[in-house]
Each structure stands twice: as C-alpha cells, then as structure tokens.
Amino acid sequence: MEADKNAKSYDEVSSPQIEAGSQFIRELNLSLGDKVLDMGCGTGHLTKYIADIVGPDGQAVGIDPDAERIKIAEGKSKEVSNLQFCVGSSAIGFPHDNEPYYDVHISTHAFHWVPDDEKRVYIQKAHRCLKAGGKLAI
C-alpha cells in the first residue's frame, strides 16, 4: 500500500526537517514539566526529543492525521512514559483541544499542509488548548 510505503520512508527523507526542527525546539527554551503538543508529528522523532527535554514530569503529545506514521512513532517510543501519540488534526480534534492544557503548541514543517479553509480553525484550537501565557510556535 502506498500510504504504508510513504510512512516507512518518512524518516529517511525528513532528516533536514528533523535537524531544523530540533534547532527550532531548542530556541523555544522548553522547561522541565512543560506539557507540549506537537501537531503534525510525523513518525515522532521530534516529539520524542521534546519528551526528553520536558522530563518525566512533563508531557509530549504528538498528533498526525496519518495513522501509519502514528503507528511507527508508537513503535519507536514504547519505553517513554511521558510521550503519547494520537491520530488527529485541527479538523478531527486532538487530546485537550477545548481546554487550556498545554504550555506550548508546536508545529514544525506541517502548517503549510493544513488546507487554507482550516487554518483559522487550527489557530483557534491552538489558542484554546494553551494555558495562560502559553506559546504557539509554528
């Protein structure tokens, strides 16, 4: 199946995105204990990096609309207790999308894939899910 093949080769072709995304995440100065949503997480490489930064008292939640990518992400991160992956999007929904739960909502190299008619909803949901003083980083 083409979707499976694309999901499996994602890590191979996305190394420049992972490198740039890692730098972007470092510039956010995440703190131990932060709860971070990674929208458009792909196969979860950067989400796991976030989980390492926020530590065991923090949480990293990776969301992607592609179920095969989420399956791969979960397979690579079974031992990480502060990491969760879900199939979702701004249109489908995601954990805590209607409550101020996250300290940071991040999306690296994914916002351009959101259809133009859904971008407003994306920003609204991103705002709703952030705690007071939270950061939206796209």
CB under 8 Å, gap of 24 or more: what pairs does 70-79 form? 70/41, 70/44, 71/7, 72/7, 72/8, 72/10, 72/11, 72/43, 72/44, 73/41, 73/42, 73/43, 73/44, 73/47, 73/48, 74/44, 76/43, 76/44, 76/45, 76/48, 77/44, 77/47, 77/48, 77/51
Considering only residues 104 and 16, tell me which one the structure prediction assigns the higher pLDDT. 104
Task: Write down the pLDDT at residue 110.
Answer: 86
Considering only residues 83 and 2, tell me which one the structure prediction assigns the higher pLDDT. 83
pTM: 0.88
Scan for tokens 């199939």, then name that residue. Answer: 87
**Residue 105 sits in a domain of what CATH number?**
3.40.50.150
Contacts for 46 with CB less than 8 Å, ≥ 6 apart: 18, 21, 22, 25, 38, 108
Tell whether 56 is covered by a domain. yes
Tell whether 34 is covered by a domain. yes
Considering only residues 110 and 34, tell me which one the structure prediction assigns the higher pLDDT. 34
Tell whether 13 is covered by a domain. no
Tell whether 104 is covered by a domain. yes
Tell whether 7 is covered by a domain. no
Task: Write down the pLDDT at residue 100.
Answer: 97
Check whether 114 has a pLDDT greater than 60.
Answer: yes
Strand spans (E) along 24-117: 35-39, 59-64, 83-87, 102-106
Considering only CA atoms, which of 30, 81, 85 is closest in space to residue 56? 81
Tell whether 19 is covered by a domain. no
Q: What is the mean pLDDT of residues 32-57?
A: 97
Task: Write down the pLDDT at residue 13.
Answer: 57
Domain that holds residue 107: 30-136
Tell whether 61 is covered by a domain. yes
Cβ atoms of residues 45 and 18 within 8 Å: yes
Name the amino acid, one letter, at 7.
Answer: A
Tell whether 91 is covered by a domain. yes
